Amino acid sequence: MKIYDARYVLIGLAIFVGLFTIPFWYNMGRAVPPPDPKLDTPVIQQMAVKQCVLPLAEIRTGHMQLLNDWRTWVVRDGLRTYVAADGKTYNMSLQNTCMDCHSNKTQFCDQCHIYAGLEAGTVPYCWTCHIAPKENQ
Amino acid sequence: MGIKFSLLAVLALVLVAFLGVEAIGMNYLFGVLVPYLAFFLFLTGFIYRILKWARAPVPFRIPTTSGQQKSFSWVKQNKLDNPSTKLATVGRMALEVLLFRSLFKNTKMEFRQGPKISYQWEKWLWLAGLAFHYSFFIIVVRHLRFFMEPVPGFVHLTESLDGFLQLGLPGLYITDLLFLAAVTYLFIRRVVIPQMRYISLPADYFPLFLLFGLGVTGVLMRYFTKVDIVKVKELAMGLATLHPTVPEGIGVLFFIHLFLVSTLMAYFPFSKLMHLGGVFLSPTRNLPNDSRIRRHINPWNYPVKVHTYEEYEDDFREKMIEAGLPVEKE
Ligand code: HEM
């Protein structure tokens, strides 16, 4: 059977298919390895038990929530000491605690964030005020 | 009745994904096979529906005209509400698709104080419709960060505009609130207005519940019970590069979210949601009103056997002259 106004209909359908298959042709022939955050900082290498503030699964998915709580507790409530579930205490600070152990921001934090689609440098926007650790490239 | 059925259907979908992943461990089925199948159904079903519609002939101009048509040079034409050229029709269509102009003209009729009829502006449906469609669109654009590597600039731009409140961590997206609020409004509207409720079918409630479920699982994943985003992206990139993998330990909420999306994609071509394509094919919008400017010939005209007056006169000339009737040729 005849397709009326075939020119317009087919152009429209081509645009539709093109738009909805963007991920397929955009990534064509590209191998995308998952990020590999490096833990080989001097501080972490000296640790006997290599452990973060929270257990691995929790810190992986929930570190931004922890940072949010730390920020509230410090800035709003004036508390500075965090007692972890295993009884260890930490000074609640982005620069002096997280980045002391993870002093390799570009090899660690940024690895994941760029992969997850947070814009490098601007998001998280924390580093417009907080000072990122110096790294020797 | 329709409400209960649709709600149960969506809850059943959630349960199927939950049990399938959590109890039986069919992660590959829910993470790869079902999404691929659903996407295939979406594309082919969509194309099939459009081609089917395009086979219906539209020989004559039947646009809705809600303004002065093109006339004498001293009568002002309303070019957008009664377009006579291709360009003006494209303009009208663009306003329709991008701003829902015909919904904006929505009015409400009411009886007030006895038998007095009053017509009112009714803009809430337009507003909620616009809020819903735009937040849906922006959410889908932001989701491209899972499917594209490197993540392109326009996705970052959308993220930073959408999250400009920088409220909490992970930062609040305005469209998440808008999306849920708009879907809730569209649902409440159907339930509260008696006439709306009377004409609402499961086919109206089901998509609303499905989208609400999709929004709620997404919001839960982002702001409350977190899932492992890095592994989600691994899975999504696997799908996009046709090398599917299902990393361990993503979190069941993600599979529920993905199963609801798959349902939406598979259901789309067979439902009223096809208005996404249908709006472009709707003859009351996409035709210029040039009925009196151009001659439109019925495309299925076939040669009709005709008997002209001359031939008639040839057949009956003698008899006509006998009877004293005037003839053209002697
Ligand atoms: C029409 C389709 C979809 C809709 C309406 C939808 C809706 C949502 C919403 C409203 C959120 C809340 C957070 C945000 O806005 O970023 C969200 C989050 C999420 N969605 Fe979707 N989604 C859809 C498709 C998908 C697909 C195909 C995937 C598969 C990769 C997916 C994976 C996720 C994940 C992992 C999150 C959590 C994001 C985070 O924690 O930052 N969604 N979704």
Q: What is the ipTM of this complex?
A: 0.90
- Across residues A104-117, what is the average pLDDT? 87
Whether A101 maps to a domain, the answer reads yes
Distance from CA of A23 to the nearest CA of B (A): 6
Any atom of ligand 1 within 6 Å of the Cβ of B231: no
Average per-residue pLDDT for chain B:
92
**Of the segments A57-61, A122-126, B44-48, which one has the largest average pLDDT value?**
B44-48
For B2-322, CATH gives 1.20.950.20
Domain count, chain A: 1
Whether A10 maps to a domain, the answer reads no
Whether the per-residue pLDDT at B236 is higher than 90: the answer is yes
Whether A1 maps to a domain, the answer reads no
The contacts of residue A91 (CB under 8 Å, 6+ apart) are: A80, A81, A82, A97
Are the C-beta atoms of B56 and B298 separated by less than 8 Å?
A: no
Are the C-beta atoms of B119 and B109 separated by less than 8 Å?
A: yes
**Of the segments A3-7, A32-36, B189-193, which one has the largest average pLDDT value?**
B189-193
The rounded distance, in Å, linking the Cα atoms of A38 and A34 is 13
Whether the per-residue pLDDT at A136 is higher than 70: the answer is no
Whether the per-residue pLDDT at A137 is higher than 60: the answer is no
Ligand 1 atom 21, closest CA: B218
Q: What is the token pair recorded at B267?
A: 């259901």
A-facing residues of B in 189-248 (CB < 8 A) are 226-231, 233-234, 236-237, 239-242
Whether A29 maps to a domain, the answer reads no
The rounded distance, in Å, linking the Cα atoms of B146 and B92 is 35
**Percent of chain A at pLDDT above 70?**
94
Domain extent, residue A119, equals 34-128
| Per-residue pLDDT reduced to its tens digit, B239-263 | 999 989 899 888 899 999 999 999 9
* Cα dihedral: B126, B129, B130, B135 (round 10): 160
Whether A136 maps to a domain, the answer reads no
Beta bridge partners of B109: B119
- Across residues A31-54, what is the average pLDDT? 86
**Probe residue for ligand 1, chosen from B34, B137, B143 as the CB with the greatest number of ligand atoms within 8 Å:** B143
For chain B, what are the domain ranges?
Answer: 2-322
Whether A23 maps to a domain, the answer reads no
DSSP B287: S
Whether A56 maps to a domain, the answer reads yes
